[in-house]
Amino acid sequence: MDDPAAIGKHPSARGFPSCTAVVDYPGKGYRALFGWVQLVRSTDNSSAGTAFDMDPFYLFEDAPSPYAFFGINPTLFDAPSRLGRDPLDWTAHSYLAWTPMDDTERRVLPLVGFSWGFNVDSGSRITLQPVQALSPGDWDAHLLFLGTSYPGWVFDKWQPEL
């Protein structure tokens, strides 16, 4: 972030990363409804970086939905930062998913995922982690946590394209 104010962040966020992921799907209406599920592992989270936590949009963090963003061709936007520049490892797993509207259960079917993040070293330098595609195994490793965190939802295993 070269200009934190331009994206609604405090000046202390300068130098931290931001991520924007867009969906361009030709379907219309309900056929273009997707959502972003994002989990974060950070050395300053509840597990001190040993496990992933949900990363919901803070305005809706108490809503019983696993989606951080949801809508017609939704855009994922995140700009994590900290007031200080203490050593930190921060990794997100971001998944585009679909929830069938004609199902009797609220079901989450993952479509694609990627990992991104940053590190702050002991000299307060911020470095980006490379963006990497996530595999079905990465999603499946989150299934127990997702199901426990959102018992009103069903989380399907990631089915690779045939």
pLDDT in tens, 29-83: 988 899 999 999 999 998 999 999 998 677 777 888 999 999 999 999 999 999 8
Would you say 99 and 36 are in contact if contact means Cβ atoms under 8 Å apart? no
For residues 78 and 20, give the distance between their C-alpha atoms in angstroms, rounded to a whole number: 7
For residues 123 and 15, give the distance between their C-alpha atoms in angstroms, rounded to a whole number: 14
Tell me: pLDDT of 151 over 70.
yes
Q: What is the pTM of this model?
A: 0.93
Helix, strand or coil for residue 39?
Answer: strand
How many CA atoms within 13 Å lie on the side-chain side of 65?
Answer: 16
pLDDT in tens, 104-125: 899 999 999 999 999 999 999 9
Tell me: pLDDT of 22 over 80.
yes
- Give the number of other CB atoms < 10 A from CB of residue 36: 24
Q: How confident is the model at residue 162 (pLDDT cuts 50, 70, 90)?
A: very low
